[in-house]
Amino acid sequence: MGGDQVDEAVAHASRVLRTAAGLDWSVKAGDLEWSCLKTAEHIACDLVAYAGQLTGRAADAWVPFEISLDEGSGPADAISAIEATGGLLSAVIRTTPPGVRGFHPYPHGSANATGFAAMGVAEVLLHTYDIARALGVDAEPQDELCEAVLAWIFPQVTPARGPEEQWATLLWATGRGTLPGRPRLDKWRWHNSLEIPAGRIALREVSAAAAADLAVGGTGGLSWIEGGPFDGTRTAAQMVTKAYESGVHRPEWGMFALVRVEDEVAVGGMGFHGPPDEEGMVEVGYDLAVAARGCGYASEALDSLSAWALDRPGVSALLAVIEPGNAASQGVVTRTGYVRVSDREENRAYVRRG
């Protein structure tokens, strides 16, 4: 998900909307309160706003500007504005350094370049559909674009089972359609990945799309230290992928990449085996590449992740289960406030409570 996908979405919108440029764009777009012309203006506003959040390095608010079509502008002008602002966003995404985040309210207050790309693609595809629906033209995009949007910013949505269902699933996930066996949504929200600071390390939530890449031997879009990612990280990615495909993955309660802040190099993985159980217990696990061990990274990251988790509603304790011979890992948990409890089968168990 990046600049190429933004370009593809904008090209799709341009093709669709130009077929209807001679129609009446003063009618309402789909179920929106805006006219078709105002909705097209909104697409362009979103695209340039997302670019501004990244270039302006906005930390806690929207950059205070917006664009509007000149008075007297028509459908062809609006389409040109979408093409121009889409080009700005795709260029910004391609040139934004790793680790840069900009303010966005949903759900954690910021998003990275990949997140803004996914949101930009979603805005273009969905509002193009709103306009096209009102004007009576077809607006179905490529399956791959819909699948990518779902995997990057709708991890809570059970994925479509076949290529022909991707567009219908995206419409359902945004309250625009129905799917068999799923109640229609009247409220919805996408999910941008969470980042938790931990001193020298940043814990960055691994999306379903990035986990799928890691699971089959890829990098997950990260630059890894020599020898990384280690086996445990790939195994965790496989667990996230399986949970997502089964419809039981819960954002925030999956896997995080441990990224060294000074050089944006990933050194390991850490995360949860799933959401809290009925008693409020969450199991944690972690894994470092060999070249990153002995530097204190795991302790810093686990302490921050544990504090974050214990501050969440419904969480009462964290559990770490470690093999008896893994003295280094036992040292990590004891340094971060975990105490030993009754063994779990042949392994040692440690708990940190709120």
Same domain, 26 and 133: yes
Q: Do 152 and 207 lie in a common domain?
A: no
Is 43 contained in some domain?
yes
- Assigned token pair, 53: 């959040």
Instruction: List b or e across 96-116, with b for residues whose CB sees 16 or more CB atoms inside 10 angstroms.
Output: bebeebbbbeeebebbbbbbb
- Does residue 219 belong to any structural domain of this protein? yes
Domain boundary among 141, 173, 205: 173
pLDDT score for 246? 87
Which pLDDT score is estimated for 261? 95
Q: In residues, how long is the chain?
A: 354
Looking at the domain assignment, is residue 338 inside a domain?
A: yes
pLDDT for res 122: 98
Residue 129 domain flag = yes
User: Same structural domain for residues 204 and 348?
Assistant: yes
The conformation of residue 294, written as its DSSP 8-state character, comes to: T
Q: Distance between CA atoms of 141 and 48, rounded to whole angstroms? A: 22
**pLDDT of amino acid 268:** 95
CATH of the domain at 58: 1.20.120.450
Q: Name the residue range of residue 266's domain.
A: 196-353
Same domain, 14 and 143: yes
Predicted pLDDT at 30: 85
103 shares a domain with 61: yes
Do 10 and 148 sit in the same domain of this protein? yes
Q: How many domains does the chain divide into?
A: 2
CATH for 263? 3.40.630.30
Q: Do both 153 and 205 map to the same domain?
A: no
Entry pTM: 0.92
What is the SS3 assignment for 9-55? Answer: HHHHHHHHHHCCCCCCCCCECCCCCCEHHHHHHHHHHHHHHHHHHHH
Residues 106 and 251 in one domain: no
Q: Are residues 214 and 338 in the same domain?
A: yes
Q: Does 203 share its domain with 160?
A: no
The reply to whether 182 falls in a domain is no
Inter-axis angle of helices 113-135 and 75-95, to 10 degrees?
160
With a cut of 70, list the residues of the chain below it in pLDDT.
163
User: Six-digit token pair at 9?
Assistant: 């979405």
Peptide bond into 324 cis (omega under 30): no
Residue 31 lies in a domain: yes
pLDDT at 45: 97
SS3 category, 283: strand
- The verdict on 68 and 138 lying in the same domain is yes
Q: Note whether residue 180 is domain-resident.
A: no
pLDDT at residue number 164: 76
Does one domain contain both 131 and 230? Answer: no
Whether residue 187 is contained in a domain is answered as no
